[in-house]
Amino acid sequence: MVFLPAHHRAACVRLSDIALTLLAILAIGALVPACGGNRDSISSKSNAAARQPAQEVREASPPARPAQRDCTVTFEGDSILHGGYAADQRFDEPPAAMLKRLRPAYTVIDNSESGSTATRRAPAFSTAPLTTHFVVLQHGINDAMSGQPYEPALRRMVAHVQAEGRTPVITGLSRQTHTATGRDAADAVARKVAAETGALFADWGAVSFKPAEMADVLHPAPAYSERLVARIVTMLDKAAPECRG
């Protein structure tokens, strides 16, 4: 056995430590390229994976759905919208049925009533829930002839329709061979209220007729009535063209 002096042994230990350190450095250097290559590969795969879901989402997205049709209308009015005439008679095909024939897509709720006035109808109407897209408001002739305050009642009804998110259609007043008392003033009120509130206005006063097309002195006969309904249909077609078919 050979014994080295203490200072020689210390030098050998230092040389051994240096040798081990060099070996460690060389080993780490050999590993770095491999690790770097793996990082590049993992990064590429990660980027591809990140891109892939977006592509799949785009491919899987369903096409936009067309807007849902709402082809519904409520009739609120008097005997003229009801299809009534002398002695409580009524057309075999009243205006609600005429509209359904002209535009089969529509569901029509007919709340019209002979003798009705806006003044009398407004209180109950203004608290009733509405379920249709359009609400036709046809009053005025009875209000005018009986001296009732047509304008505030009509405005109240329009306000309720709009508050319910529905679309009001004011008809204006039909004509007679001999103009009924207050007819023209009430028709002007209907036109003004429609213009000021944004309600649709179906100008019944502009619809042509002949004296022979009257059922009596006040009420239209079927041929004239159908032209009045057609004027409502014109407004509905403009506001909801998807319901024409």
Taking only the tens of pLDDT, the chain with its 245 residues reads: 444 444 444 443 443 454 444 444 444 444 444 444 444 443 444 444 445 444 444 445 555 555 689 999 999 999 999 999 998 899 999 999 999 999 999 999 999 999 999 999 999 999 999 999 999 999 999 999 999 999 999 999 999 999 999 999 999 999 999 999 999 999 999 999 999 999 999 999 999 999 999 999 999 999 999 999 999 999 999 999 999 98
Burial class (CB in 10 A: 0-12, 13-18, 19+), 29: exposed
Query: Is the CATH number 3.40.50.1820 carried by domain 72-243?
Result: no
What's residue 196's pLDDT?
Answer: 98
* The pLDDT value given to residue 245: 80
Where exactly are the structural domains of the chain?
1-52, 72-243
pLDDT given for residue 65 in this prediction: 58
Using CA atoms, how far residue 94 sits from 18, 52, 82, 221, in Å, is: 111, 62, 6, 10
DSSP per residue, 45-102: HHHHHHHHHHHHHHHHPPPPPPPPP--EEEEEE-HHHHTEEGGGEE-SS-HHHHHHHH
CA distance linking residue 50 with residue 158, whole number of Å? 55
| pLDDT in the model for residue 68 | 80
Query: What contacts 146, CB < 8 A, 6 or more positions away?
Result: 117
Terminal CA-to-CA distance of the chain, rounded, Å?
Answer: 114
User: Would you say how long the chain is, in residues?
Assistant: 245
CA distance 214 to 223: 9
Nearest partner of 219 among 110, 120, 141, judged by Cα: 141
pTM over 0.85: no
Question: Do 174 and 80 contact (CB within 8 A), yes or no?
Answer: yes
Q: What's residue 40's pLDDT?
A: 46
